[in-house]
Structures are given as C-alpha cells and as structure tokens.
Amino acid sequence: MRAACRRDHKLCASRKMARTADADLKPQLKKNGVRCRETGGSFRRNGTELVWDFLQKKGPGNGAASRQKSQESFEQAPMYVAVMTYLGFGIVTLFGYFRDFLRAVGLEKCHVAQEREEQKNFVPLYQDFENFYTRNLYMRVRDNWNRPICSLPGPVFDLMERVSDDYNWTFRFTGRTIHNVINMGSYNYLGFAENNADFLTTVADKVQQYGAGVCSTRQEIGNLHIHEELEELVASFLGVESSMSFGMGFATNSMNIPALVGKGCLILSDELNHTSLILGARLSGATIRVFKHNNMHSLEKMLKEAVCSGQPRTHRPWKKILIMVEGIYSMEGSVVRLPDIIALKKKYKAYLYLDEAHSIGAVGPSGRGVTELFNVNPADVDVMMGTFTKSFGAAGGYIAGKKDLVDYLRSHSHSAIYASAMSPAVTEQIIRAMKCIMGKDGSTEGIRRIRQLAENTKYFRARLKEMGFIIYGNDDSPVVPVLLYMPGKVVAFAREMLERRIGVVVVGFPATPITEARARFCVSAAHTRDMLNQVLHQMNEVGDSLCLKFSRRKRSPQPDLYEETDFELDS
Amino acid sequence: MELRRSAYVIREPGGSGSAWDARPVTLCHQSVGVQGISRRLQRVHSLSCRMNFKNLREYLAWLYYQYLLITGIYVLEPWEKSVFNSILFSAIAMVIYTSYVFVPIHVRLALEFFSGIFGGQPESTMTLMN
C-alpha cells in the first residue's frame, strides 16, 4: 500500500490522512489488538471462545459508576460435532441422489414440476440440480416451517394442527387447534402485537377519518398529514433533524440505497448483512466490498486501501464511501461496534448507513437503539434506517438523518415516487406505539416494557448459558440463537418443542453456514417470568434428550473482570 | 418414542431441583484425542444417569434415537431407514466375521515371524561361543 502511494505520488499527496492513519495504527497494532480508545473494547480468546468485551455506558448518567462490561461470544463446538454434521448431510445427500435416480427411472412418482414430453429436447426449463436441496432435504422436513397460526401472534398463540400423508408433499388440517403455544419466534420485542381494544381506539378513529388505504404514492396525492406527524415523531424519538417513512421495511433498504449511492461509489458492507441491504447495494451499481463480520481490522484495511488506491482501473478517488452495518444481526444476535466504526469513519471520511431493524426499540435504556446503547451522538451516524415491523408491531420503515439528506430522499427515492404510501391505520399504530415508548401518552407503560425486555433478555440468556447450550451474540440482544448443528437434531428439536407447546423458529443451511444450524429465540417484553421458566425447563429436558449441550465453558458463579491479555486477531 | 410427552405441564421453578443445577462440573477444554473419547462416553453416561431411564429397553431406545439423529437418518422415510440400517448392519457383520476368522491367524503368523528374527540370533551366538 505504501509502495502504491509512492508510485502515484500526485494522488497520495492529497491523502495525508492515509499516512497519518498508518502512523496512528502502529502503536495499536504492536499490542496486537483491536482497541478503541473511546470505549476500551478488546478481543480475548477464552479457551474455545472468541469473546469481545467492551465497556458500555448504561443509563442516562455518565460516571464511571454506570459503566458495565458487556460480552459477545461465539463459542466453537467440539470437533466431533462438525464431523457428525457433515456425516449427517452426506448420508442424506446420498439418499437424495438415490431418490432422484428412482424418480428418473420411473420407479417413484415425481411430485415436482416437470417438463412436458413434447418439450424434452428443448433447453431445460426446470434446473434440476438447483432444486436438489429443496427436493431432497427441505421437503422431507418442511412441516417445521410455515406453520399456519390462527390467533394473534402475541406471547402465546394458537396453531392449526396439520398432518401429512405423503411425507410432507401435501398437508391436510385435522380440524383441531393447538391452543396457547408459547411464541418464541415472533419479533415482538416490546409486546405491541396486541389486540386490546382499549389501546387501539386511536387507530380505529383514524381509520374512520382517513379510510383504510391511501391508493397513491407520497409524491402524488398520498401524502397525508398523519405521515408528516409520524415523521416528526420519529425524528424527535431518534434525536435527529428529520426523517421519512416508507410503506415496507425491505423496500426502505432496497429502494433508497440506489438513491444515495451510484456508480463510482464504494460500499463496504458487513459479511452478514440482510438481503435487503445486499439487494439495494447491487441495484445501485456501486462497487461492493465485504468485510468480515464486526471485524474492525478488516474494515480499516479496506478503508485504507480504498482511500489510497481509489477506483479499480482509473485510480480516481471514490465519489463516496458508504459503510453499511446493522444494529443487531438477527441470525447471530451480535451487536455492531458502533464507537469503533464511527472513529474509523471520521478518520477516513466515509459515510455510515446503520440499519436498526432489530435494535430500534429493543436495546438502549429508553429504547432508542444502538446509538443510545453506546452513548453515541446520533448526528455521527449519517443515515439511520430502521423498521417498524419488529418493536412497534406495525409495518414499514424509516430513514432519518440530516434535513438535507431526507429532503433529497423525498424527491429522489424510488419508494416515494412509485410505491404506495403507508396506510393510515398502520401509521397510527406506529404513532401510538412510539408515544407509548417515549412516555408521551402519560403512562409509564413504555418504559416498563423496555425494562421488562432487558430483564427477560438477561435472565433468559444467563439461564441458557448456565444449562450448557452454546449461545451466540451479545448479552444485551433479545435475539438468542441456540446452536444445534446437526440436521437431524434441528428437526427433532422443532418437533419436540411443538409437542411441549412451545413454538420455535429453527434455521438451517441456506440461511446459515452449513455447520451452524440453529434455533433462534426472540425474547419479548410480553413474556412473563412463568412462560420463560416453562420454556427453559422444557429446553433443559429436550437438551438432555437430544444431547444438545455442547458448551465447554468453565462456569464460575460470578463473571470475572478480565484484563487485556494477549490474544489473536482474526483478519 | 416413549420419551415424548403430550400433556402441558407447568413446573414451578423452586420445586424441580434438576432444572436449576443442570449440569455436572464442566470439563476443561483439551485437544481431541483418546481423552476426548473417554470424556464423551463419560458425558453420555452422566447424561443418561440424569435422564432417569426406567429400564434397559428405554435406554436402548434412547441410544437408537441418538444414532438416528447423528447419522441424519431421522429425516428419512421408514423404508430408507431400513435400507440404511441393513447396509450398515451387514457391513459391520462382515467386519466382525473377517476379524473373527482372520485376525488370530494373522496375529499368530506375525508373532512367529518376529520371534523367528529375535529368537534365532541368541542361539547362533551361543553355539559359536560353545
């Protein structure tokens, strides 16, 4: 990199900051760690785990007394678990080939779409191999997904019982309902998925006033006063100048990133970003580079290289560098290292796009997301994006930031021009939920729910760790992935938990790496201690019955305060 | 599987001691080796002790269940399970048969071969000295 700079002397002369950045980096690298001066976060290898400790300011106070240590851990399972996982997948794949052979020969009826006899010599329409996994593994076990529910998806819900006569190719309903299944899968963090008529009177009034749908886009005649009210409220909630709301959370990302960046810009996106961010980045036409998950060293290396070398062939400077991260990553439960990223962004003059889909309303002492969790000035984050689907019990998304940015988006966003505006009922639900969280409706219900969620999260995570399960992610995140690894155990776990009236979401291969299948629990403020104990008790039994307790952690009665020891950096 | 239950039972947290002190002492991490295998067997044994099997039949059923889960056979249809089990069983039976029939003979021949080398030498030096 230095050599490249010397070659292109003219270009690098203006990039003084790259050289000073190098000099700054040296003392940090000597100690072989990623350390952020502001928060003192550091890596440490603790046996089989990689643990990231950082200091967070908890609470509105700012003294040393309110600092607490928070941990993020990604423990590795013993080697035999990986071997067994591959073995399981291998055997099922062999049987998949065998069944495909039987179908090809004609000994077995083929249930998937096939071409007609007359078209056999044409270019194949249905690519058989791509559907191999779906046909041969997913179909066998798909009774664990897409289960139809027939009540409100609150902390408990009712499921319709269904059985299959031909090994999950078709289902039929028996007519019975499974009542009061504890819901550990909904993103109902603050419990706003409720249908209590008292709470929803304002929503009913607005439907009377504005109607059910808008039937137009924001730029045409779909801009209602209630939308502007919502946007002002969101801006004051987040502590920024202005915000804009959109009808769909996924579309907020995929339609607005193309409006912000284009060709000649660079996007540095985290490894585990959500599909909406990836889609938006690809649609924009910018160059995309991926850095390792939550790894500041990898990000810094890429930033340095981008600033030094510029665009690929012409070596012109990039028009914009946008760092895209999420507040809480929903598959891992890990929290972004916001102070480190902001320090890097300021050093290298890049922009930050923060997707707070899961963290808004769910973390932070008053529910304002990761900026509050790390006590960071919201003005430091250039584009704050979030969704109303998870913590607010509604639908849609928002983008917030400086007034110039939001005004630009109002006229240039694809969603504003072409997508239908948010319906008034949904808007009012968000307004009421947000007022409840902020305390503007005159009650303490909002803050009670946030505290309840924090308490539930801490309790649930601590108990699961104590039992011996491998849990990923930050101690504060309400998303709890429990690692199951083997495909047989994933399926058996989902079925056993349903028999015990607990509904869980299990995730397998395409959405996660092949060796890390998991069950993802989403703790909610609406769960009572009783429900959590019930879930934990059943998990204990299922964990014993299926041998799921892989953790090799040494458990001490009290968490120790670790000094910075020597450790390895993954780069 | 008799291990499944269909009733919805709420347990009080204080009452069930087993829910709270869930695990025996965790063993420290070491590299995988012979020690790893014996520790795993120890852990399986301790797990099954904790699970209160009423009789041997239930224990064997649980072991079969673990075998189904680990090999991934659990997701297959019953006839596929039978096919895999019969192939595996016949492979193991052949291994056992071969080892039973041929291993003693080979071991005896090997011992004779090596004893021929070591046993022969001292004799020749003794005769020379005599």
Two tokens, residue A338: 């916001």
Is residue A313 exposed (0-12), middle (13-18) or buried (19+ Cβ within 10 Å)? exposed
The alpha carbon of residue B126 is apart from the nearest alpha carbon of chain A, in Å, by 55
Residue A89 is nearest to which of B26, B40, B72, comparing CB atoms?
A: B72
| A503 neighbors A184 (Cβ within 8 angstroms) | yes
Distance from CA of B57 to the nearest CA of A (A): 15
Q: Does residue A45 belong to the interface with chain B, where contact is any CB pair within 8 Å?
A: no
Asked if B4's CB is within 8 angstroms of A80's CB, the reply is no
Write a three-state SS string for A415-447.
HHHHCECCCHHHHHHHHHHHHHHHCCCCCCHHH
Low-confidence ranges of chain A (pLDDT < 50): 1-40, 56-67, 558-571
Note whether A488 contacts B73, CB cutoff 8 Å.
yes
Chain A residues 144-173 within an 8 A CB cutoff of chain B: 167
CB contact under 8 A, A140 and B76: yes
Task: Give B10-14 contacts, CB < 8 A, sequence gap 24+.
Answer: B10/A530, B10/A534, B11/A533, B11/A534, B11/A537, B13/A533, B13/A537
| pLDDT at residue number A463 | 94
pLDDT tens for residues A94-134? Answer: 999 999 889 888 888 888 877 788 887 888 777 677 788 88
Which of B23, B66, B70 is facing A549, going by the closest CB pair? Answer: B23
- The pLDDT of residue B16 is 39
Contacts with B62 from chain A: Cβ below 8 Å: 545
- The residue type found at A7 is R
**Tokens matching residue B18:** 């087993």
C-alpha span between A332 and A272 (Å, rounded):
9
Which chain A residues in 515-554 lie under 8 Å from chain B, judged by CB atoms?
Answer: 530, 533-534, 536-537, 540, 544-547, 549, 551-554
Is B30 a residue whose pLDDT tops 80? no
Could A551 and B4 be called an inter-chain contact, meaning their C-beta atoms sit closer than 8 Å? no
A444 Cβ contact partners less than 8 Å away, ≥ 6 residues apart: none
Phi/psi for A377 (5° steps) reads -70, 125
**Percentage of chain B lying above the pLDDT 90 cut:** 42
Contact B76 A80 (CB under 8 A): no
B18 touches chain A (CB under 8 A): yes
Q: What is the largest CA-CA distance in chain A?
A: 78
Please judge whether A80 and B36 are an interchain contact, meaning their C-beta atoms are less than 8 angstroms apart. yes
pLDDT for the residue A11: 41
Judged by a CB distance cut-off of 8 A, whether residue B54 touches chain A is: no
Closest chain B residue to A167, measured at CA: B77
Q: How far is A85 from chain B (nearest CA, A)?
A: 7
Distance CA A355, CA A235 (A): 16
Q: Tell me how far apart the alpha carbons of residues A350 and B103 are, in angstroms, rounded to a whole number.
A: 71
Give the global pTM. Answer: 0.80
Is B87 within 8 Å of chain A by CB?
A: no
- Please identify among residues 497-516 of chain A the ones whose CB lies closer than 8 Å to any CB of chain B: 499-501
Cα A341 off chain centre by: 18
For A15, the token pair is: 């990039």
pLDDT at B40 over 70: no
Question: How many CB atoms sit inside 10 A of residue A299's CB?
Answer: 25
Q: What is the pLDDT of residue B120?
A: 61
- Does A113 reach chain B within 8 Å, measured CB to CB? no
Ramachandran sector of residue A566 (left: φ over 0; alpha: ψ -120 to 50; beta: rest): beta
CB pairs under 8 A between A and B: 101
Q: Give the gap in angstroms from C-alpha B89 to the nearest C-alpha of chain A.
A: 15
- CB-nearest to A141 from B27, B73, B75 is B75
DSSP string, A143-177: GGSS--B-S--SSEEEEEEEE-SSTTSS-EEEEEE
Q: What is the pLDDT of residue B122?
A: 53
For residue A486, the chain B residue with the least C-alpha distance is: B70
Give the pLDDT confidence of A442-501 residue by residue, as tens digits. Answer: 889 999 999 999 999 999 999 999 999 999 999 989 999 999 999 999 999 999 999 999
Q: Which residues of chain B have a CB within 8 Å of the CB of A141?
A: 75
Q: Where are the beta strands (DSSP E) in A35-155?
A: 42-46, 49-57, 67-74
At A294 the pLDDT is: 92
Per-residue pLDDT tens digits for A360-371? 999 999 999 999
State the Cα–Cα distance between residues A59 and A63, nearest whole angstrom: 10
Which residues does chain B have within 8 Å of residue A553's beta carbon, measured at their own beta carbons? 26
Residue A105's pLDDT is what?
A: 85
Task: Please report, for residues A85, A91, A130, A131, the alpha-carbon distance to residue A136 in angstroms, rounded to integers and kept in the order given.
Answer: 17, 12, 11, 8
Residue B45 reports pLDDT greater than 70: no
Of B11, B18, B51, which is closest to A545 when you measure between CB atoms?
Answer: B51
Q: Does A440 touch chain B (CB under 8 A)?
A: no
